[in-house]
Structure 1
Amino acid sequence: MALLPKILHVKKLQLANEIHSIIWSVLYTFGMAVSGFLVYKVGVSAAFILDGLLFVLCFVMLMNVRIEVRVNPATRNIVAMFKETLSYIRHDRKVFYLMLLHALVGLTAFDALVALMVHEYYTHLIATSLAIGLLHASRALGLVVGPLLIGRHMTNTRLRYVWMFQAFAIMLWAAVMPHFYLSLMASVLVGLCTTTLWSYTYTLLQHHTDPAYYGRVVAYNDMLFLLMAAATSMLIGFCADAGVSLPMITLMLGVLFVVATWYYYWLQQRFELKEIP
C-alpha cells in the first residue's frame, strides 16, 4: 500500500485501493465461506492442506512479478526514523485523525459474531460449517457489488451517508438475526459499503500524507486497523461471556458506526479535507 501512491495518480489510486479492498475483503470473507463448505465436505485436515497449497501457489506467482521502483538505501538509524514518524503524526493532526477514521472500519470484524450466531440460532437448521460458509459468502457478495454501485459516485460529503448506511445495515442485521434466510440477506447489505469505506478512507489518508512518510504511515495505519479489528472481536467475546444477547451486541456495533459518522462530520468541520480528484 505504500508503493501505490508512488506509481499512481490520485484518481487511479482510489480505484486501485477499491480493487485491493475488493480482492482482500472478498478473498478473506469468501475464503472463510469456501473453508466452511470444504470442512463440511472433506473434513478439517484436507481443508488445511488445500489452504497451505494456496500459499505455495501465491509464492510462485509473486516470484514472477517485476515492478521497477527506485529504492533509496536507508542512511538513518531505525529508532531515529521511528521517532521522526511519530513526531510527524503528532504534529500533523489531520493525518492522525484520518488514521483513526480508517481504523473504525475495523469494527466490521464480524468473524466471532458469525460463529456465535450460527451456534446460537442455526445449528438446528443446517450444519455449522455450512451455515458459516453461507453467511460469509453472502457478505462477500456485498463486498463485491458495493464498489461497483457506489465507488464512482463517492465524494467527501457522500462518505458521511455511507457511514450512516453501514450503521443502518448492521442494526437491521441485529433485528433479523434469529431468522437464517433474512440474516443471509442482511449480510449482503452489511458488506455493501464496507469495501468503499475501507478504500475511500485509505485514499484520503494517502492523499493527505507527506510522500516522504508514505511507507511508515501506512505501516502504523495498518497496525491501528488490525488493533481495532482485534478489539472488536474481543468486545464481542467479552459481551457474549457476560450474557449479552447477540442481537444486542450487533446493535452496539451499529451504534458505534453512528458515532463514527459523527466523528467524520466533526473531522470535516475541523479540517479542510481535499477532495479526491
Structure 2
Amino acid sequence: MKYYYFFLRDNPTIRGLSLVNFIASFGAWFSTVAIYTMIVDFGSSELAISIVTAMHFIPAIIIAPFSGAIIDRMKIKPLMVSLLFIELLMTACFLLISSVNDMWLLLLFIFIRMSAASMFFSSEMSLLAKLSSGKELQTANEIQSIIWSFTYAVGMAISGFVVNLYGAKTAILIDVIIFIVAFLVFVQIKIDLEYKKVEEKILELMFDGLRYIKNNKIILHLIFLHASVGLTSYDALITILAKNEYKELIAVPLAIGLSNSVRAVALMIGPLILNRIIKKENLQYLLVFQGVTIIIWAFVQSNFYASLVALFFVGFSTAFLWSYTYALLQNRCEKRYIGRVISYNDMFFMFANVATTLFIGTMAHITTTTVITISLGVAFLLYAFYYTKVYTKF
C-alpha cells in the first residue's frame, strides 16, 4: 500500500484522475442497483433483465471506431469534461422512469450515458498510457482497478440498503449529487500534456488505426486475451439468482448489493497480493484459478451464504487480470495510436460482456444457472490453454 501512496503523491495528474474515478464510480452503483431493482419491480422477464444489462455494454461496441479517432484527434481535457457532463445529465434523466411503459426511455438514457462513460474511460486509459509506461503504467492500472473494486463493494452494499429503505429514486438522486462533485473536481485537474494537432480526418484515423492493429498480430492477441475478463459479467446472473433463488430469504436489492459487494471486496484485495506473484510466465495459472472458482460457485448457488463465500474467490483474481492484461496492451502500443487501440480493445471487451450477458439471459430459459456458470468457468480454462500457445509471442 505504501508503494501506491508514494506513486500517487509523486503523480498529481494521476492522483486527480484517481480521485474523480473514486467519486464517480462510488456514485454509479447507486443508480445501477436502483435500475435493476426497478425492472424487477416492473415484473420484467429474465430476458428483459439481460437486455437492460447488455445496454450498459452495447454503446462501447457501437461507438468504439469513432471514439478512438476522436480521442487521438481532440484536446483531451475539454473532451473529458464534456463526456462527464453528459453522464451527469443522463443520470438525472433516470428520475423520469416510473413504469414498465418507460422501458424504452430507460434504455435510451442508459445508451447515451454509457456511450459517454465508455469514451471517458477510453480517454482516461489513453491519458494514463501517455503519462506513464512500464511498471508505472501497470501500477496506475492497478490503482484504477482497486478504486473500482472498493467503490463497487461499498457502493453496492450501501446502495442496496438505500434502495431497500428509501426507494430507487432516492438512490438515483444521490448518484446525481455525487456526479456533480466529480465534475467539479475534474475541472480543477491540470493536465500538462503537449497537444499535437492532427490533420487527418476522423475516417482516415479510423482506418489507419485498423491497419495498425492488423499489422501487429501481438496487439490482436492481447485484445483477445483482455476480453477474457468480459466473461465475468455476472450482473444478470446475480440478479436472476436474487429474483428466483434468494427472494424468500432476503430482499432482492439486498441480495444484489451484498452479492456484488462481497465479490468486489475480493476484487480490491486481489491485486495487492497477485502483483507480487503473477508474471507473464505464469499468467495461465491465474486464468485456471479463475475458471475453477467459477465452477465451484456454480455448485453452491442454491445456498445464499455459501454463494457469498464462493463469490469472494471468484472475484479474487478478476481485477488483477483486467489491469495486467490492459497494461500488456498499453505497453505494446505506439503512443500516437493509443486512443484508437484502447477504443477497439474496449469494443471487443464490451462485446465479450454483451455476449456473456445475452448468453445468461437466453440460457436461463433453457437450463439452470448452475449449467450457465459452469460454461463460463470452462471458457476460462480454454483461455488458459490459448495463453500457453501464444505466450512465446509476448
Q: If the length of structure 1 is used for normalisation, what is the TM-score?
A: 0.94
Correspondence for 1:196: 320
Correspondence for 1:84: 208
Pick from 274, 280, 285 the counterpart of residue 150 of structure 1: 274
Correspondence for 2:225: 101
Correspondence for 1:13: 137
Q: Could you tell me how far 1:217 is from its partner in structure 2? A: 0.4
Q: Could you tell me how far 1:264 is from its partner in structure 2? A: 1.2
Correspondence for 2:24: none
How far apart, CA to CA, are the structure 1 residues paired with 2:199 and 2:303? 59
Correspondence for 1:250: 373
Correspondence for 1:267: 390
How far apart, CA to CA, are the structure 2 residues paired with 1:140 and 1:188? 8
Q: Could you tell me how far 1:212 is from its partner in structure 2? A: 2.2
- What root-mean-square deviation, in Å, do the aligned CA atoms of Structure 1 and Structure 2 show? 1.3
Q: If the length of structure 2 is used for normalisation, what is the TM-score?
A: 0.67
Correspondence for 2:90: none
How far apart, CA to CA, are the structure 2 residues paired with 1:40 and 1:139? 20
Q: Which residues of structure 2 form unaligned runs of 5+?
A: 1-124
Q: Confirm or deny: 8 A CA contact 1:5 1:206 kept in the other structure.
A: yes
Equivalences for residues 100-179 of structure 1 within 5 A: 100-179=224-303
Q: Confirm or deny: 8 A CA contact 1:25 1:195 kept in the other structure.
A: yes
4+ residue runs over 4 A deviation: none
Q: Could you tell me how far 1:17 is from its partner in structure 2? A: 0.6
How far apart, CA to CA, are the structure 1 residues paired with 2:165 and 2:345? 39
Pick from 325, 331, 341 the counterpart of residue 207 of structure 1: 331
Correspondence for 2:363: 239
Q: How many residues align?
A: 270
Q: Could you tell me how far 1:35 is from its partner in structure 2? A: 2.2
Q: Kindly tell me: are residues 215 and 225 of structure 1, through their superposed partners in 2, closer, same or farther at Cα, counting changes over 3 Å?
A: same
Q: Confirm or deny: 8 A CA contact 2:153 2:262 kept in the other structure.
A: no
Q: Which residues of structure 1 form unaligned runs of 5+?
A: none
Amino acid at match of 1:23: I
Correspondence for 1:51: 175
How far apart, CA to CA, are the structure 1 residues paired with 2:138 and 2:152? 21
Q: Confirm or deny: 8 A CA contact 2:152 2:261 kept in the other structure.
A: no
Q: Kindly tell me: are residues 42 and 123 of structure 1, through their superposed partners in 2, closer, same or farther at Cα, counting changes over 3 Å?
A: same
Amino acid at match of 1:257: F
Amino acid at match of 1:258: L
Q: Confirm or deny: 8 A CA contact 1:30 1:136 kept in the other structure.
A: no
Q: Could you tell me how far 1:131 is from its partner in structure 2? A: 1.1
Identity %: 40
How far apart, CA to CA, are the structure 1 residues paired with 2:149 and 2:350? 14
Q: Could you tell me how far 1:241 is from its partner in structure 2? A: 1.9
Query: Is it true that 1:64 corresponds to 2:201 in the alignment?
Result: no
